[in-house]
């Protein structure tokens, strides 16, 4: 943004300077040329007036000679011609004599207005002696254009200097203005990013920038404070619920265990059923608390070695899978690093493996693999079990979305919350040959700290 503001102001100032300085330079140049020619014609007329006294009134040529000498001292070349185009008098230099001068004299004596030509840095002018229609002679004056060129060069030099000074001032002003506006916005953007990554105590600086940006920063701080209050309150509620529910459940289970120890017959059977329901209720409470924690997760992304996490979870779950007659394997893959919150990948894999192992009959298999897909790490958990109908897959990521689930029905909801909180996607697909495949796409870790990639267009099942 800072660069865009600076470049916009710089381009605008450059256009305005060009539109102002160039026409002014052209105007001053044209004015100097007109003034130069008018002054030259005035000098020529002075000599013509002095020559008229000699050619028309037949007075001595003293005045005419005096004007020619003055023109020579000024650096001009002048020549006086009579009505027959014969040279009467001239300055020592010969620039006012020659073919061009003869053409000018002929046009003047013919009663025409000549166009003054410029030749070799000199401008020639011609004026009639006496009446314009019936001249008794003509005067030709050649003057060097060096002084005119110097003035024109000075005009464009000053114009360029003014333009450069204005452009330099515009650069300084635009950079200062861009920083004044852009720095507070960059700081606010960084604060928003850190707040989104879980730093709930993050606040923006409200002391710099335009009033609108300061108001935006103040609004952001108010929002951040309220968010922090809500999240902390939510966490406190979860902690209280966890304590208040688990304690009586544990006491109730203990009492049922004591009663079941001495029970016989139908009473023992009923107590065993009650114990199973208490255990199921405990698992349900734990699952709900896990979902709540996942929903409020604001992870700080860190570097997670995907192949190591997969290997650890396969090793941890292999005894459970073997006990149930399920083969749990991991396909080899590249060394990839994902940007995830601490412990999130392990929790995701635990839920997926647990669901797969519970759903498979003896003799089934579960395979984990991973690969790089653009800026993403694709992790798949495939099983060859009974699979899942399309209706169940459409609601599988909701709480209790699958009524046919053997467990609490919260595992995939926890997976979906954790994956999306880390900027990834989760989808369910049919395994070729039968079964269910869970496809996760997780952001790759960037050492440069770049932002997460834009989500891919996958058939992601989201909460509705």
Which pLDDT belongs to residue 242? 65
The CATH architecture of the domain made up of 2-150 is: 2-Layer Sandwich (3.30)
Token pair of 251 as six digits: 């006491």
Domain with CATH 3.30.565.10 in the chain: 300-464
Of 345, 338, 423, nearest to 381 by C-alpha is 345
Which pLDDT belongs to residue 171? 81
Token pair of 427 as six digits: 């989808």
Instruction: Please list the residues that pair with 368 across neighbouring strands.
Output: 330, 381
Of 138, 140, 142, 139, nearest to 95 by C-alpha is 142
Torsion of CA 451, 457, 463, 464, to 10 degrees: 120
Which pLDDT belongs to residue 199? 75
Tens-place pLDDT, residues 87-142 = 999 998 887 788 888 888 888 888 877 666 655 567 888 999 888 888 899 999 99
Domain with CATH 3.30.450.20 in the chain: 2-150
8 Å CB contact between 297 and 341? yes
Count the neighbouring beta carbons within 10 Å of the beta carbon of residue 122: 19
- Write out the E strands in 280-421: 302-305, 327-330, 337-340, 365-373, 376-383
DSSP per residue, 19-81: HHHHHHHHHHHHHHHHHHHHHHHHHHHHHHHHHHHHHTS---THHHHHHHHHHHHTT-EEEEE
Fold entry, domain 300-464 = Heat Shock Protein 90 (3.30.565)
The CATH architecture of the domain made up of 197-298 is: Orthogonal Bundle (1.10)
Which pLDDT belongs to residue 406? 54
Which pLDDT belongs to residue 258? 78
Residues in the chain where the model's pLDDT stays below 70? 1-2, 114-121, 197-198, 234-235, 238-243, 283-299, 399-410, 447-464
Token pair of 383 as six digits: 């099983």
pTM of the model: 0.47
Looking up tokens 């065993």 gives 272
């Amino acid at each position: 943004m800072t660069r865009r503001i600076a470049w916009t102001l710089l381009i605008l100032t450059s256009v305005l300077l060009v539109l102002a300085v160039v026409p002014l330079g052209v105007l001053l140049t044209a004015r100097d040329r007109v003034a130069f020619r008018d002054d030259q014609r005035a000098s020529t007329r002075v000599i013509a007036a002095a020559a008229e006294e000699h050619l028309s009134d037949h007075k001595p040529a003293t005045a005419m000679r005096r004007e020619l000498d003055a023109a020579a001292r000024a650096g001009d070349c002048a020549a006086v011609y009579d009505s027959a185009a014969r040279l009467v008098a001239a300055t020592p230099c010969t620039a006012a004599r020659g073919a061009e001068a003869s053409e000018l004299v002929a046009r003047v004596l013919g009663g025409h207005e000549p166009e003054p030509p410029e030749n070799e840095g000199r401008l020639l002018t011609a004026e009639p002696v006496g009446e314009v229609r019936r001249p008794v002679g003509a005067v030709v004056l050649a003057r060097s254009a060096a002084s005119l060129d110097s003035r024109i060069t000075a005009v464009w030099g000053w114009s360029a200097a003014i333009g450069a000074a204005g452009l330099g001032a515009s650069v300084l002003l635009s950079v200062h203005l861009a920083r004044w506006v852009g720095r507070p916005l960059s700081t606010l953007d960084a604060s928003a990013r850190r707040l989104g990554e879980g730093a709930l105590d993050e606040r923006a600086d409200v002391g710099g920038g335009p009033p609108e940006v300061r108001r935006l920063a103040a609004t952001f701080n108010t929002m951040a404070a309220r968010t922090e209050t809500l999240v902390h309150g939510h966490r406190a509620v979860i902690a209280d619920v966890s304590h208040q529910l688990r304690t009586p459940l544990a006491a109730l289970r203990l009492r049922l265990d004591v009663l079941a120890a001495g029970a016989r017959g139908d009473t023992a059977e009923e107590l065993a059923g009650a114990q199973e329901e208490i255990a199921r209720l405990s698992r349900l409470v734990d699952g709900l608390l896990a979902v709540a924690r996942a929903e409020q997760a604001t992870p700080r992304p860190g570097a997670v070695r995907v192949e190591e996490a997969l290997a650890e979870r396969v090793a941890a779950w292999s005894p459970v899978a073997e006990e149930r007659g399920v083969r749990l394997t991991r396909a080899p893959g590249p060394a990839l690093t994902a940007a995830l919150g601490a412990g999130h990948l392990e929790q995701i894999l635990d839920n997926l493996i647990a669901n797969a192992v519970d759903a498979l009959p003896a003799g089934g298999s579960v395979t984990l693999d991973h690969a790089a897909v653009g800026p993403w790490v694709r992790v798949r958990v495939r099983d060859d079990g009974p699979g899942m109908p399309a209706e169940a897959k459409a609601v599988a990521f909701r709480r209790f979305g699958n009524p046919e689930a053997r467990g609490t029905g919260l595992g995939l909801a926890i997976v979906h919350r954790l994956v999306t909180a880390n900027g990834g996607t989760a989808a369910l697909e049919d395994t070729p040959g039968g079964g269910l495949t869970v496809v996760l796409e997780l952001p790759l870790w960037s050492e440069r700290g770049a932002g997460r990639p834009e989500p891919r267009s996958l058939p992601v099942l989201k909460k509705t």
